[in-house]
Amino acid sequence: METRWYKQALLGGMTVDAFRLGTVLSLGWFWMRRNGCCLLYRRKDAEIIDVSRLLSVANNNTEQIEAPTYLSNKAGSLYFYVVNRANGCGYVERSFSGAVKVCFNQEGHLAVPIPNNVVNLKAGVLAGPKVRLGWYYCPLEEGAKPILFRVYWDGGNGQIDYQNPLAAINYEGQGFYHFHSQTLVAGAYHFAVMAVDSNGIEGNSQTVLRIKVADSGPDIVRVANMEVL
């Protein structure tokens, strides 16, 4: 069970945790370090961080901060860790710029971080006929930053080939992306789009889009003449 560290304080905050957190002089309520410090929090919801549940404190110039050993990590669980900085006067930033999402697999080990899934995947038929795919990518709370998107399809046989991508689209940050296929014959086609990081690891999206291509599109409207009345 997680415990609130200040409830352990006895004799003016003089406990092992209080010495480690540097709070003895302030009776366990402030992080009085001349050069400031880093504060570690953990929550299951990225948008709501309980700042009263402080896990650990480290020097302001540190490159790493460790979570307490009493924390339990359940198999298949997901947590958000947030690091905020405080100056020597006790003023603390409140932002998510130092946030990270941590996932644990069913064996209780750290899951491999993956990019987010693409959202709002849509398709349309263009003249040719060709298929146009469009999607949106948002990096919020992503486990790994993508470098490209892979477009997969079934070639019209009903089974998507995830071994041989149809195309690769470079990642250029948060926003909308699109892809135009080659000229296709009439039939039904299935498409999928995966974000891929620098290690070649893909997202785990299960979204498959089905679109039907006809022999020909509607007749083109032509303006024959125009008169002024």
**47 and 96 share a domain?**
yes
Reported as a single tens digit per residue, the pLDDT across 128-140 is: 889 999 999 988 7
DSSP tag of 177: E
Question: Are 130 and 184 a contacting pair, CB within 8 Å?
Answer: yes
**88 and 146 share a domain?**
no
Examine residue 199 and state whether it is found in any structural domain, yes or no. yes
pLDDT band per the 50, 70, 90 thresholds, residue 2:
very low
Examine residue 180 and state whether it is found in any structural domain, yes or no. yes
- Specify the pLDDT at position 12: 47
Reported as a single tens digit per residue, the pLDDT across 62-110 is: 888 888 877 777 777 778 888 888 877 767 787 777 777 777 777 777 7
Examine residue 223 and state whether it is found in any structural domain, yes or no. no
The DSSP annotation for 81-150 comes to: EEEEEE-TT--B---STTEEEEEB-TTSSBPPP-PPPPEEEEEEEETTTEEEEEEEE--TT-SS-EEEEE
Examine residue 109 and state whether it is found in any structural domain, yes or no. no
**88 and 127 share a domain?**
no
DSSP tag of 153: E
Query: Beta 99-103 vs 119-126: how paired, if at all?
Result: unpaired
Higher-pLDDT residue of 36 and 121 is 121
Higher-pLDDT residue of 44 and 157 is 157
Nearest residue to 37 (alpha-carbon basis) of 48, 26, 50: 26
Read off the amino acid at residue 32: M
pLDDT band per the 50, 70, 90 thresholds, residue 29:
low
Residue 80 belongs to what H/E stretch? strand 78-86
Examine residue 135 and state whether it is found in any structural domain, yes or no. yes
Q: In degrees rounded to 5, what are phi and psi of residue 19? A: -60, -40
Q: State how many domains the chain has.
A: 2
**138 and 94 share a domain?**
no
DSSP tag of 44: S
Containing structural domain, residue 199: 119-213
Examine residue 72 and state whether it is found in any structural domain, yes or no. yes
- For position 89, which CATH number holds? 2.60.40
Angle at 97 between CA 92 and CA 102, to 5 degrees: 110
Reported as a single tens digit per residue, the pLDDT across 151-174 is: 999 999 989 999 999 999 999 999
**74 and 143 share a domain?**
no
202 has a pLDDT exceeding 70: yes
The number of angstroms, rounded, from the C-alpha of 36 to the middle of its chain's C-alpha atoms is 30
198 has a pLDDT exceeding 50: yes
Examine residue 222 and state whether it is found in any structural domain, yes or no. no
- For position 185, which CATH number holds? 2.60.40.10
pTM: 0.54
